[in-house]
A and B are shown apart, each in its own frame.
Chain A
Amino acid sequence: MFYREAGQFKATYEEDSRIFPIRQDRIVFAFILAFAFLGVPLLASLGIVSNYTFTAILTPFLIFSLAALGLNILTGYAGQLSLGTAAFMAVGAFASYNFMLRIEGMPILVAFMLGGLCAAAVGIVFGLPSLRIRGFYLAAATLATQFFIVWCLTKVGWFTNYSSSGVISAQKIVILGYTFQSSMSKYLFVLAVVSVMALLAKNMVRSNIGRSWMAIRDMDMAAEVIGFRPIRTKLMAFAVSSFYCGVAGALFAYAYLGTVEPEGFNLDLSFRILFMVIIGGAGSILGSFLGAAFIVLLPIYLNVLLNFTEAATGIDLPSGLSSSVELMVFGSLIIFFLIVEPHGLARLWQIGKEKLRLWPFPH
């Protein structure tokens, strides 16, 4: 009844090509943003949102969303499957660390940018094989990225400033004299970065560059014939995607973990981010967020469920069980989504909206 676009006439193409052409969507979105920026801190000051919520749920959720967004650009939009996401995150994290460490007075945001650019450069190099190979050949090649980069960061002492354990401690986040110390301030910092970058990504995918990615993904021969240059398009996707992953990696180190070692960016992390994209919805910005939320929340709920079962039945479950069950649930969900809804949660959301539009009439 209330979700209806009737009566909203779009007089110009400007209006029609807005991110949210339907008024209700704009309102809901504005509300969500306001809630994230103002509501959540307010609730925190009232003691309703705890520190734990910030450090274990909200901040990682946002950072993973950004990484998933990066992978989604490459895999969901440009159709190039990558299993090396974590490696690009690692490059971003360790590059930012070194920029901060070695250049006096380096502003942190600039360091993150530079870290992202380093990741982009690495992305271009490891994206070169995509010009000749496709599909899982490419996926196999991206494993090379994953293993090689992590090895490099581990073995070359310079990257970790010769820390004996290989662990780096990220510097403080200071902007204009303000130190982002509390978990809430870190959350807000990450939220701001992620919001801006998500907006930029949305703009890209709805303009020519985004269309070039999707064209290459859907039918590369035809894309070439109408004038998209495959080399440029694919490498651009690798660069932009790796930039996003690189910044996500830097945030991962600076705003989430604080201390991190190269092994923290292992193949498992790459897979997790791939799962976010598959479950959330390949080729959807919103999907990256939905998928990240899902994958961040799932283990938490699983644990609650297992604890509850333990309490209810009185049986002591083995301690490693929850992580094994987590693997099984992830695995089954991936298969389930690929079979039932390959476009993931984002499509379910879409379908839900269309239903709502018709509600309460069946047709």
Chain B
Amino acid sequence: MQFFFEVLIAGLLSGVMYSLVALGYVLIYKASGVFNFAQGAMVFFAALTAVGLHDLGLSLWVAVPLTMAVMVVLGLVTERIVLRPLVAQPEITLFMATIGLSFFIEGLAQAIWGANVRGLDLGIDDVPLEWLLDHANMAISQFDLIAAAIAAAMVAALAIFFSKTKIGRALRAVADDHQAALSVGIPLHHVWGVVWAVAGFVALVSGLLWGARNGVQFSLTFLALKALPVLILGGFTSVPGAIVGGLIIGASEKLAEVFLGPYVGGGIDGWFPYVLALLFLLVRPEGLFGEKIIRRI
């Protein structure tokens, strides 16, 4: 039982990270109707750029803001070059374009920084938190806790940004109806630019946290892809859905790996979230919090 809770908590903590990345997707999807497959590549790119700059001798305090600036530029350029010409195209075309974008960004990252795995030390040790070990006899990684706390703070900030601020409201108006938003004078391109910049920021934070844990390497893109099943669970347009979905995926994948994995040879966390999401889709195609769609003709 003890062990079960340890696994569960570790799963939930990693789930917070999924929630964060998933929110990056939701933001872009709500604002521009694009399902941004390149989010994973952006995570990789951001982490690699930050570490690359750091390895060049810059302190993290300089490297990270600099990377942020790069991510904003990347977001704006993407908006201008890829999305604007494709506006009003079918969603699936935009989706495929972001697959292309993801290849481009991955290539770019490696062309600049090379393809080697790089270590990243944020100065937080990946050791069980002593206090918890003493008082509850549970081994929960200190790093995971702090990372989850940072991610949770970001998630909260984004949720507030989305529901309370002026730009957030504009964004929701855009999500509801592009044409109407245009006609009441909301500058669509500004909104999109902001959203892509925010997505870049999300990518940077998650890239740093994941990178510090597992090393900055190509497989980060696959980690970020896990946000997909999260979105299927939560619904592509729902902020609470992304949060809850992330927690469910994080927890269930860890539990499955630890308790089910040994019977089938392990490594099931690679596909378990996807299959879980797929089964879920068969029951509730619109996701946990998504709206039910009635087809009209």
Q: Which of A144, A330, A342 contacts B274 (CB 8 A)?
A: A144
One of B16-24, B92-100, B168-176, B248-256 contacting the partner: B92-100
Measured CB to CB, the closest approach of chain A to B76, in angstroms, equals: 16
Measured CB to CB, the closest approach of chain A to B276, in angstroms, equals: 9
Q: Which of B103, B228, B265 contacts A155 (CB 8 A)?
A: B265
B101 interfacial contact with A, CB 8 Å: yes
Output the nearest chain B residue to A322 by Cβ-Cβ distance.
B111
A327 interfacial contact with B, CB 8 Å: yes
Interface residues as binary, A305-336 with B (CB distance below 8 Å gives 1, 0 otherwise): 00000000000001011011111111111110
- Which residues of A sit under 8 angstroms from B266, Cβ to Cβ? 155
Contact B104 A335 (CB under 8 A): yes
Cα A148 to Cα B274 in complex, Å, equals 9
- Which residues of B sit under 8 angstroms from A151, Cβ to Cβ? 267-268, 270-271
A27 interfacial contact with B, CB 8 Å: no
For the complex of A and B, 3 pairs with smallest distance between CB atoms: A334-B100, A331-B104, A327-B107
Cα A42 to Cα B77 in complex, Å, equals 51
Contact A338 B100 (CB under 8 A): yes
Extra inter-chain contacts (17) besides given A144-B277, A331-B104, CB under 8 Å: A81-B96, A132-B285, A137-B232, A140-B274, A141-B277, A143-B274, A320-B110, A330-B100, A330-B107, A332-B104, A334-B96, A334-B100, A335-B100, A335-B101, A338-B93, A338-B97, A342-B93
With known contacts A143-B274, A155-B264, A328–B111 Cβ distance under 8 A: yes
A136 interfacial contact with B, CB 8 Å: yes
Interface residues on B, range: 35 or more
Cα A148 to Cα B102 in complex, Å, equals 22
- Which residues of B sit under 8 angstroms from A290, Cβ to Cβ? none
Q: Which of B97, B108, B110, B267 contacts A334 (CB 8 A)?
A: B97
Measured CB to CB, the closest approach of chain A to B101, in angstroms, equals: 6
A101 interfacial contact with B, CB 8 Å: no
**Can you name 29 A-B residue pairings with CB atoms under 8 Å?**
A81-B96, A129-B278, A136-B35, A137-B281, A137-B285, A140-B229, A140-B231, A141-B278, A143-B225, A143-B228, A144-B271, A144-B277, A155-B266, A155-B267, A222-B297, A320-B110, A320-B114, A321-B111, A324-B107, A325-B111, A327-B106, A328-B103, A330-B104, A331-B101, A334-B103, A335-B81, A335-B82, A335-B97, A338-B86
- Which residues of B sit under 8 angstroms from A128, Cβ to Cβ? 282
Contact A135 B275 (CB under 8 A): no
Contact B281 A324 (CB under 8 A): no
Contact B103 A132 (CB under 8 A): no
Interface residues as binary, A98-136 with B (CB distance below 8 Å gives 1, 0 otherwise): 000000000000000000000000000000110011011
Q: Which of A221, A318, A339, A342 contacts B295 (CB 8 A)?
A: A221
- Which residues of B sit under 8 angstroms from A36, Cβ to Cβ? none
B105 interfacial contact with A, CB 8 Å: yes
Contact B95 A81 (CB under 8 A): yes
Chain A interface, >50% SS class: helix
Contact B96 A140 (CB under 8 A): no
**Residue among A139, A151, A275, A327 with max Cβ neighbours from chain B (10 Å):** A327
Contact A331 B96 (CB under 8 A): no
Contact B103 A318 (CB under 8 A): no
Contact A331 B100 (CB under 8 A): yes
Measured CB to CB, the closest approach of chain B to A85, in angstroms, equals: 13
Contact A81 B92 (CB under 8 A): yes
Interface residues as binary, B157-195 with A (CB distance below 8 Å gives 1, 0 otherwise): 000000000000000000000000000000000000000
Cα A329 to Cα B108 in complex, Å, equals 10
Task: Report A's interface with B, CB cutoff 8 A.
Answer: 81, 128-129, 132-133, 135-137, 139-141, 143-144, 147-148, 151, 154-156, 221-222, 271, 274-275, 278, 318, 320-321, 323-335, 338-339, 342
Chain B interface, >50% SS class: helix
Contact B107 A328 (CB under 8 A): yes
Cα A128 to Cα B228 in complex, Å, equals 19
Interface residues as binary, B237-276 with A (CB distance below 8 Å gives 1, 0 otherwise): 0000000000000000000000000001111101100110
Output the nearest chain A residue to B95 by Cβ-Cβ distance.
A136
Cα A137 to Cα B297 in complex, Å, equals 21
Measured CB to CB, the closest approach of chain B to A28, in angstroms, equals: 31
Output the nearest chain B residue to A338 by Cβ-Cβ distance.
B97
**Residue among B82, B91, B271 with max Cβ neighbours from chain A (10 Å):** B271
Cα A332 to Cα B285 in complex, Å, equals 33
Cα A327 to Cα B270 in complex, Å, equals 24
Cα A327 to Cα B105 in complex, Å, equals 8
Cα A326 to Cα B108 in complex, Å, equals 10
Cα A271 to Cα B264 in complex, Å, equals 28
Measured CB to CB, the closest approach of chain A to B145, in angstroms, equals: 29
Contact B281 A132 (CB under 8 A): yes
Measured CB to CB, the closest approach of chain A to B188, in angstroms, equals: 18
- Which residues of B sit under 8 angstroms from A271, Cβ to Cβ? 99, 103
Contact B114 A318 (CB under 8 A): yes
Measured CB to CB, the closest approach of chain B to A10, in angstroms, equals: 36
Interface residues as binary, B272-297 with A (CB distance below 8 Å gives 1, 0 otherwise): 00110110011001000000000101
Measured CB to CB, the closest approach of chain B to A190, in angstroms, equals: 28
Contact A144 B100 (CB under 8 A): no
B57 interfacial contact with A, CB 8 Å: no
Contact A135 B95 (CB under 8 A): yes
Cα A210 to Cα B108 in complex, Å, equals 40
Cα A140 to Cα B37 in complex, Å, equals 10
Measured CB to CB, the closest approach of chain A to B234, in angstroms, equals: 12
- Which residues of A sit under 8 angstroms from B264, Cβ to Cβ? 155
- Which residues of B sit under 8 angstroms from A333, Cβ to Cβ? 100
Cα A107 to Cα B108 in complex, Å, equals 47
Within 8 A of A (CB), among B1-22: none
Contact A140 B103 (CB under 8 A): no
Q: Which of A133, A139, A274, A324 contacts B115 (CB 8 A)?
A: A324
B85 interfacial contact with A, CB 8 Å: yes
Cα A144 to Cα B81 in complex, Å, equals 31
Q: Which of A132, A143, A324 contacts B111 (CB 8 A)?
A: A324
